């Protein structure tokens, strides 16, 4: 039987990420405040890549991502060096996040308790379940970064705080 808490966690965190992206336009998604390196667009793509790579590795499947996304959005990426016309549209990133959620919900729903409890060879202190939770926690942190950038955008434009 699948871990219903894990499925709920994936659905909740991804739902919040998608909700905080609603209403962000392309210009806003590219904005990087002085002193920072990452935009809303980068954080959204990073959520996709981190969840994909960590979860795929944990459950023993190949990661699925559009060509070039790992280089753009991974923990090894350098967003400040990427040409403006190389970034995918925020709408495409959101579509990929939605598709990934459905695919991973299906994948996770098929995992047994025994499969989730298997220790990962490279990280003996962590189980498959813990690696999935770690990936989702990372997304939740980046969702908070997106929310903060939205607040900063609102202050920059002179409006009140807006809520997604």
Q: Where are the domains of the chain?
A: 4-156
What are the Cα distances from residue 86, in Å, to 72, 80, 81?
A: 9, 12, 11
The whole-number pLDDT of residue 158 equals 67
DSSP states along 14-56: HHHHHHHHTT--HHHHH---TT----HHHHHHHHHHHHHHHHH
The mean pLDDT value for 89-118 works out to 97
Q: Which residues have C-beta within 8 Å of that of residue 97, sequence separation ≥ 6?
A: 14, 17, 18, 21, 44, 47, 48
**Across all residues in the chain, what is the average pLDDT?**
92
What is d(CA 15, CA 20) in angstroms, rounded to the nearest whole number? Answer: 9
The answer regarding whether domain 4-156 maps to CATH 1.20.120.450 reads yes
The whole-number pLDDT of residue 159 equals 58
Task: Indicate the pLDDT class of residue 124, thresholds 50, 70 and 90.
Answer: low
Asked if the model's pLDDT at residue 161 lies above 90, the reply is no
The whole-number pLDDT of residue 163 equals 39
């Amino acid at each position: 039987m699948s871990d219903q808490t894990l499925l709920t966690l994936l659905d909740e965190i991804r739902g919040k990420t998608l909700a905080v992206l609603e209403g962000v336009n392309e210009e806003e998604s590219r904005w990087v405040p002085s002193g920072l390196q990452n935009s809303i667009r980068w954080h959204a793509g990073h959520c996709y890549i981190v969840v994909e790579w960590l979860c795929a590795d944990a459950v023993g499947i190949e990661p699925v991502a559009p060509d070039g996304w790992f280089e753009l959005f991974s923990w090894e990426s350098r967003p400040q060096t990427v040409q403006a016309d190389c970034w995918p549209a925020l709408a495409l990133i959101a579509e990929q996040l939605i598709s990934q959620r459905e695919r991973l919900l299906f994948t996770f729903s098929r995992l047994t308790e025994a499969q989730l409890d298997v220790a990962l060879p490279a990280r003996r202190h962590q189980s498959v379940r813990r690696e999935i939770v770690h990936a989702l926690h990372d997304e939740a942190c980046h969702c908070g970064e997106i929310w903060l950038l939205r607040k900063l955008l609102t202050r920059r434009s002179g409006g009140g705080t807006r809520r997604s």
